[in-house]
Every structure is written in structure tokens, then in C-alpha cells.
Amino acid sequence: MKAQRTKGAVLAGNGPQSCIIDCGGTSAQNHRAFHFHSGEGENTIVQGFTIRGGVAYKGGAVLCTNSSPKFVNCVFHANQAQDDDTGGGAIYNENSSPTLIDYLFTANSATNSGGAVSNDGSKQRPGTSNTDAPTKKT
């Protein structure tokens, strides 16, 4: 049997109250905190951050494409997706299934769907729940 290689990295802050990633995004200057697109899995962990001020056409704070990282003890605040055809003010998942543990979504918005989370060809992992209900774009 061949061993399966998985990508992984841990980015750990001192907690969302004291460790803030401010993306500084505007409608003229789009910025997001993370774009996972290289097959990252559960061994890629973002832990203990507030992620705020992300603005992008989809996934204001985080865009996951064919990747499923893990977010632990994170706050997603005031992020925005501004494209008419997509959504995910905080997180946009495209063929991805990230894990969310101990998290909070506040004041995130999207022009189209999923003020907090939008899923396209993605599945929400069992046991994962949101404070803002996710929307699946079909």
C-alpha cells in the first residue's frame, strides 16, 4: 500500500480577541486573508484569529478551491463578497469542505448568496454549524 501524502501547515494566533488579521479590503482594492487552492486538507489549520475587512468577488475573507482546511477558534467579522454571481461574505467553498470548530460569523455580507458561507459543489462537514446559515448556490 502506498502512503498518501497530505499537505499541512498550522497558523496559530493567541486567540481572536488579541490576534487580528485585517485584510484592509475595499471595493476598489480587493483583499482577502486566505486562498486555499493546492489541495490543502485537515492538516492545514488556521487557529485563534479574528479575520476582518476582507472584500473580494467571492469569499471575502477565505476562498477554498479543491481544498478543505480546518479553522479553529476563529471569528469572521465584516467581510464582503461583492460579485453578483457568487457569494460567501466570509468563506466561499468551491469543491471544498473545510472544517469549522468554535467559530463566530458577524456582520459578513454578500451581494448574491451566503452572507457568511457559500458552497458551490461543496459539502458541509458533519458536526459543522454556523451562526449565520450557509447558502448553497446551484
Distance in angstroms (rounded) separating the CA atoms of residues 22 and 32: 9
pLDDT score of 137: 35
Q: What pLDDT is stored for residue 21 in this prediction?
A: 96
The three grid cell numbers given for residue 119, joined into one nine-digit string: 458552497
Set of cell numbers at residue 78: 465584516
| Cα-Cα end-to-end distance for the chain | 38
Q: Where are the domains of the chain?
A: 10-121
Provide block-wise average pLDDT over 10 residues at a time, the chain (138 residues): 59 93 93 94 95 95 96 97 87 94 95 88 54 39
DSSP 84: T
Residue 129's pLDDT is what? Answer: 43
Residue type, 101: I
For 99, list phi and psi in degrees, rounded to 5.
-100, 135
Q: Concatenated DSSP letters for 71-94?
A: EEEEEEES-EE--TT-B-SSEEEE
Residue 84 has a pLDDT of: 76
